[in-house]
Amino acid sequence: MAEKKSDPIVVIGLGRFGSSIALELAARGSEVLAIDSRPKVVQSLAGRITNIATADATDIEALRQLGVPDFYRAVVAIGSDLEASILATSLLVELELEDIWAKAVSRQHGQILHRIGAHHVVFPEHDMGERVAHLVSGRMLDYVEVDENFALVKTHPPKEFVGVPLGQSKLRRKYGVTIVAVKSPGEEFTYTTADTELSYGDIVLVSGRSDNVERFAELP
Ligand code: ATP
């Protein structure tokens, strides 16, 4: 069997989510094969994605003709049409792609995608909703849960940590979090050291258990 293309990625379903993925991958220099069943969608993206095709991803022959079996990695970004999402994912499993990502719109949808062989299931609406909930209810500038109960937060330093070298601040002992990077106004993010002293206008990246980073971000 010919070696599979390890870098190129197939993106199936070019709604808001799928087209963002395809465009971002293309912008980052990955080779992308983008597929959608609606000619209008394909036309509107054709200038920005070189390798794009109108095809029904629930048709295994169409996928074969496009060379999909040669790919190593694919994303199924069909959401509202559950039948198409499940069928397209199962065909990619049948075609033995080794790294299949699929978007789910509900927990049950996600379970089915996992059971039929998707290697990664993502819940963009759910995850973004959770993230925005953290942002609107607190003072954080950004919040990413990197694992269950472990988060990375972008926020301003609480006043008790301003003007004290981090090495002397007892930050980890008191709040169970680590400030991993700092950005002063007009500058770029840089790693912190034990000697770093924070200022009021700084933005910090804080990592730690979700409850700890949230508590830290609430400090005055
Ligand atoms: P988004 O939120 O990303 O805009 P969505 O969750 O509403 O999308 P859908 O509209 O179901 O998802 O699907 C996204 C895209 O997938 C659409 O552009 C649609 O044309 C395409 N699509 C749906 N079924 C198929 C299929 N069988 N083959 C290829 N593309 C498909």
- The CATH number of the domain holding residue 144 is 3.30.70.1450
Same domain, 166 and 202: yes
Same domain, 71 and 154: no
3-state secondary structure of 99: strand
- The predicted-structure confidence for 123-164, as pLDDT tens digits, reads as follows 999 988 888 888 887 778 998 888 889 999 999 999 999 999
Lowest mean pLDDT among 81-85, 90-94, 116-120, 136-140: 136-140
Nearest atom in ligand 1 to the alpha carbon of residue 78 is 13
- The finding on whether 124 has its CB within 6 A of some atom of ligand 1 is no
Same domain, 39 and 102: yes
- The finding on whether 56 has its CB within 6 A of some atom of ligand 1 is yes
2 assigned to some structural domain: no
Q: What's residue 1's pLDDT?
A: 46
Question: Contacts from 82-86 at CB under 8 Å and sequence distance 24+?
Answer: 82/109, 83/58, 84/13, 84/37, 84/57, 84/58, 85/13, 85/109, 85/113, 86/112, 86/113, 86/116
Percent of the chain clearing pLDDT 70 (strictly above): 97
71 assigned to some structural domain: yes
Q: Give CA separation, 123 vs 28, 85, 109, 153, 184, in Å.
A: 23, 13, 10, 20, 34
- The finding on whether 125 has its CB within 6 A of some atom of ligand 1 is no
Q: What's residue 157's pLDDT?
A: 93
Same domain, 74 and 147: no
> What band does 36 get if pLDDT is binned at 50, 70 and 90?
very high
Same domain, 112 and 140: no
Residue span of the structural domain in which 213 resides: 127-217
Q: What's residue 130's pLDDT?
A: 83
- The finding on whether 21 has its CB within 6 A of some atom of ligand 1 is no
Here the CATH number for the domain that contains residue 35 is 3.40.50.720
Cα 101 to ligand 1 centre (Å) = 15
- Report the domain count for the chain: 2
Residue nearest to atom 11 of ligand 1 (CA): 80
111 assigned to some structural domain: yes
Residue nearest to atom 13 of ligand 1 (CA): 78
Residue nearest to atom 6 of ligand 1 (CA): 79
Q: What's residue 5's pLDDT?
A: 56
- The finding on whether 160 has its CB within 6 A of some atom of ligand 1 is no
